[in-house]
């Protein structure tokens, strides 16, 4: 393949050095392609490390420690006047992010592929123009430019000014009160983080529930916990206006047919992200954009045969392991055009790192209804499970969905303690097409959180007689 492309500087040029771009470069170089990766961000590391998964989970874990320390009563422990040092909480997060970013920088500079610091745009279908003024040519391309915070649906929000997931990570002091706009993962993770550090939080969500794509039993459970922890949750709303009011900010919205005004020191904008592709010059080279995302097939090919895309810029799933897998598949398919691989979303997993955590794999009941897929489902609550009672972690439940004819597990959900860890048993089971009968018969150590899966497993095994 390389010989056929000698007229180009590289076999493959990758734009963007985040999770998708790095995974693609590592795979391509391993497969012998002469590869260059171009990264244009102010810092090296990508969204997950610098402003996404890692800093937010570091803060959420601190919030969980704070919550447990302030509510030790159930275990007979007395802790008076639990307090915190916000500067130290943030400094720990910054230290971790620096460590992760340093590791990534070393991987990028490891010499297996060329690493360039510049922003890139297409000059023609085989040429990139870099912000350094250079041009480079390649036989193939992978676009992995990630996503950016979505524009505001209400111009007033821009003039009033809002925190977002980038700026909130740089706060040097906490606001006294906060209005969170949105009900997706970023909105609810930050809402709980702020609330557990003593900020008075109001959350305003347009849909009937937070995390509106998930099953209602899961989202209602989380809303119940949020309200119990003092977060004011408004769902089914329509934003009308926002303005500055005194030293704070006010938001007006419709809720149950009435106009409501809420006031807080700060606003937090979490109304989504969009693919970051505006400045790539895609229109000149004919790469098809669907709505706001780069359209790809399951082999991660765009409509232009030598141009692939991976990660958040392809828009459908903003999940880091999916970005990695897409980057690997794109690079593999460029290196091995006769043995192409496809992305398979059967095991699509999502985790939301609130407390209780929410995790799903495969089908939810909502998805099964929309796709008209027959299923049987069974749930079991943590309020009736030995280990969770020991831990006083009684919110939530696990749920299994199975094929009514074969008993194969086709979906799993967990709202509960360490749900993001527990879901991996079902990911492993589903990857091997395990049935509920097999899951129920599998040994589970007692008393563990994991053994809770056997209850819906047993119930479904009894209902599905083979």
Is 40 a binding residue for ligand FAD by CB under 6 A? The answer is yes
The Cα-based distances of 44 to 21, 39, 60 in angstroms read 12, 7, 23
User: Considering the complex, what minimum distance in angstroms separates the CB of residue 116 from ligand FAD?
Assistant: 9
CA distance 129 to 122: 6
Beta carbons within 10 angstroms of residue 302's beta carbon: 24
CA distance 11 to 150: 34
Quick one: DSSP state of residue 74? G
Three-state DSSP class for residue 111: coil
Three-state DSSP class for residue 35: strand
Whichever of 165 and 454 has its CB closer to ligand FAD, that residue is: 165
Quick one: DSSP state of residue 435? B
Is 275 a binding residue for ligand FAD by CB under 6 A? The answer is no
User: Considering the complex, what minimum distance in angstroms separates the CB of residue 191 from ligand FAD?
Assistant: 12
CA distance 137 to 123: 10
Residue from 160, 319, 335, 358 in contact with ligand FAD (CB under 6 A): 319
Residue from 27, 165, 237, 357 in contact with ligand FAD (CB under 6 A): 165
Whichever of 47 and 174 has its CB closer to ligand FAD, that residue is: 47
Whichever of 15 and 307 has its CB closer to ligand FAD, that residue is: 15
Nearest-10 crossing angle of helices 185-196, 53-70: 40
x/- string (CB under 6 A) for ligand FAD, residues 101-120? ------------------xx
276's CB contacts (< 8 A; 6+ apart) are: 145, 146, 147, 148, 312, 313
User: Considering the complex, what minimum distance in angstroms separates the CB of residue 127 from ligand FAD?
Assistant: 14
Is 311 a binding residue for ligand FAD by CB under 6 A? The answer is yes
Query: Is 437 designated active site?
Result: no
CA distance 393 to 79: 19
Q: Is 163 left (phi over 0), alpha (psi -120 to 50) or beta?
A: beta
Tokens of 336: 């091995």
Is 52 a binding residue for ligand FAD by CB under 6 A? The answer is yes
Is 46 a binding residue for ligand FAD by CB under 6 A? The answer is yes
β pairing state of 273-275 and 147-149: antiparallel
User: Considering the complex, what minimum distance in angstroms separates the CB of residue 321 from ligand FAD?
Assistant: 6
Is 355 a binding residue for ligand FAD by CB under 6 A? The answer is no
Q: What is the total count of residues that contact ligand FAD (CB under 6 A)?
A: 35
Whichever of 182 and 456 has its CB closer to ligand FAD, that residue is: 182
Q: Which of 67, 126, 255, 446 is catalytic?
A: 446
Binding part of the chain for ligand FAD, among 40-48, 62-70, 240-248, 435-443 by CB under 6 A, reads 40-48
x/- string (CB under 6 A) for ligand FAD, residues 190-219? ------------------------------
Residue from 323, 363, 415, 461 in contact with ligand FAD (CB under 6 A): 323
Tokens of 149: 């915070």
Give the position of tokens 């007395």.
Answer: 78
Whichever of 120 and 377 has its CB closer to ligand FAD, that residue is: 120
Residue from 59, 181, 320, 331 in contact with ligand FAD (CB under 6 A): 320
Is 358 a binding residue for ligand FAD by CB under 6 A? The answer is no
Tokens of 437: 């009968």
User: Considering the complex, what minimum distance in angstroms separates the CB of residue 39 from ligand FAD?
Assistant: 5
Q: How far does Cα 141 stand from its chain's mean position?
A: 25
Residue 379 has phi, psi (to 5 degrees) of -125, 165
Is 459 a binding residue for ligand FAD by CB under 6 A? The answer is no
Binding part of the chain for ligand FAD, among 66-74, 253-261, 315-323, 357-365 by CB under 6 A, reads 315-323
User: Considering the complex, what minimum distance in angstroms separates the CB of residue 301 from ligand FAD?
Assistant: 17
Q: How far does Cα 73 stand from its chain's mean position?
A: 34
Is 315 a binding residue for ligand FAD by CB under 6 A? The answer is no
Whichever of 121 and 387 has its CB closer to ligand FAD, that residue is: 121
Whichever of 38 and 178 has its CB closer to ligand FAD, that residue is: 38
CA distance 461 to 404: 10
Class of residue 197 by CB neighbours under 10 A (exposed 0-12, middle 13-18, buried 19+) = middle
Whichever of 15 and 368 has its CB closer to ligand FAD, that residue is: 15
End-to-end CA distance of the chain: give it in Å, rounded.
51
Catalytic residue annotation: 446
Q: Which residues bind ligand FAD (CB under 6 A)?
A: 15-21, 38-41, 46-48, 52-53, 56-57, 119-120, 144-146, 165, 186, 276, 279-280, 311-312, 318-320, 323, 353
């Amino acid at each position: 393949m390389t010989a056929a492309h000698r007229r180009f500087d590289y076999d493959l040029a990758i734009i963007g050095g985040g999770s998708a771009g790095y995974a693609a470069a590592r795979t391509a170089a391993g497969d012998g392609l002469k590869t260059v990766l171009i990264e244009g961000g102010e810092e090296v590391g990508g969204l997950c490390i610098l402003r996404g998964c890692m800093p937010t989970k570091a803060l959420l874990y601190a919030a969980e420690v704070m919550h447990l320390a302030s509510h030790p009563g159930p275990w007979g422990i007395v802790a008076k006047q639990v307090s915190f040092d916000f500067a130290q909480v943030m400094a720990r997060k910054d230290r971790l992010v620096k460590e992760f970013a340093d590791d990534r920088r070393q991987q990028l500079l490891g010499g297996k592929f060329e690493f360039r610091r510049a922003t890139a745009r297409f000059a023609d279908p085989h040429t990139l123009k870099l912000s350094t003024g250079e041009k480079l040519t390649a036989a193939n391309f992978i676009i992995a430019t990630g996503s950016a915070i979505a524009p505001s649906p209400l111009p007033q929000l821009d003039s009033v000014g809002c925190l977002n997931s980038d700026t909130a990570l740089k706060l040097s002091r906490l606001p006294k009160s906060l209005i969170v706009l949105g009900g997706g993962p970023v909105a609810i993770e930050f809402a709980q983080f702020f609330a557990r550090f003593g900020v008075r939080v109001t959350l305003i969500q347009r849909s009937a529930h937070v995390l509106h794509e998930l099953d209602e039993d899961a989202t209602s459970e989380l809303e119940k916990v949020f309200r119990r922890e003092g977060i004011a949750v408004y769902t089914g709303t329509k934003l009308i206006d926002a303005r500055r009011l005194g030293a704070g900010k006010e938001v007006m919205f419709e809720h149950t047919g009435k106009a409501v005004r809420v006031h807080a020191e700060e606003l937090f904008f979490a109304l989504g992200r969009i693919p970051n592709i505006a400045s790539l010059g895609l229109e000149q080279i004919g790469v098809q954009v669907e709505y706001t995302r780069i359209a790809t097939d399951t082999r991660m090919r765009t409509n232009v045969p030598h141009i692939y895309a991976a990660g958040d810029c392809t828009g459908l799933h903003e999940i880091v392991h999916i970005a990695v897998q897409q980057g690997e598949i794109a690079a593999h398919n460029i290196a091995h055009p006769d043995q192409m691989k496809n992305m398979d979303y059967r095991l699509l997993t999502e985790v939301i790192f609130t407390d209780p955590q929410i995790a799903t794999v495969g089908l939810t009941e909502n998805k099964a209804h929309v796709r008209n897929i027959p299923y049987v489902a069974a749930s079991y609550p943590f309020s009736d499970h030995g280990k969770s009672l020991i831990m006083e972690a009684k919110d939530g439940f696990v749920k299994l969905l199975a094929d009514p004819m074969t008993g194969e597990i086709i979906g799993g959900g967990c709202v509960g303690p360490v749900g993001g860890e527990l879901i991996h048993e079902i990911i492993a089971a589903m990857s091997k097409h395990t049935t509920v009968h097999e899951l129920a018969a599998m040994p589970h150590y007692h008393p563990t959180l994991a053994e809770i899966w056997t209850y819906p497993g047993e119930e479904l095994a009894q209902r599905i007689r083979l």
